[in-house]
Amino acid sequence: MNYANLIIEDLATLKQLEKQQKLVRNEKRVRFLSLLKSGEMNTQKDAGKAVGWQLRQSQKIWQKYHKKGLDAVLETGRRRGFGKLTSTQISGLNRYLREMGARSLTEIRDYLKDSYGIQYTIGGVSDLCLRLKIKLKTARPSNYKKDAGAVAAYKKTSDE
């Protein structure tokens, strides 16, 4: 395959573009294309190895360049949000948990569905709780034989 003819940008533009990249990922992609354009490497496999990739990754980058051009190769993916909930919905969830409390993930899932119309799986609610650092608060265990009168008397005498 004659990459010198297939790659539209000239070598000087690619070298300059490589220096301008802030992300190492994009720098490697431009370097890959410049290696093929200059003829230093004759195959996608060799050029990919020179930048630290396996053959399949080299093939994917080449296909993306061949079909959609340099802009598609350098495109950074759409940033993902924190989840399905907005910040006001998260504060509402925290308020609900403070005031009402939830004994299970199912209760939290039902609250989100009823209040905001947002569907979560149990696993999704679990991940959400981990991200938001929400933990189930349980009381310390106490002895079932304890005498309530003796506890009250102890508290009265220990305060003085």
113-156 pLDDT, tens per residue? Answer: 999 999 999 999 999 998 888 887 777 888 888 888 888 888 88
Residue 17 confidence (pLDDT) above 80: yes
d(CA 16, CA 90): 45
Domain assignment of residue 103, yes or no? yes
Instruction: Provide the token pair at 63.
Output: 């296909």
Please count the structural domains in the chain: 2
Within 10 angstroms of residue 63's Cβ, the number of other Cβ atoms is 11
Together in a domain, 38 and 8: yes
Within 10 angstroms of residue 48's Cβ, the number of other Cβ atoms is 24
Of the candidates 12, 9, 4, the residue with the CA atom closest to the CA atom of residue 74:
9
Together in a domain, 41 and 19: yes
Model confidence at 160, in pLDDT bands (50, 70, 90)?
low
Together in a domain, 68 and 96: no
Query: Domain range holding 119?
Result: 87-131
**What stretch of H or E contains 153?**
helix 148-158
Together in a domain, 95 and 117: yes
Together in a domain, 62 and 111: no
State the pTM of this model: 0.52
Together in a domain, 21 and 68: yes
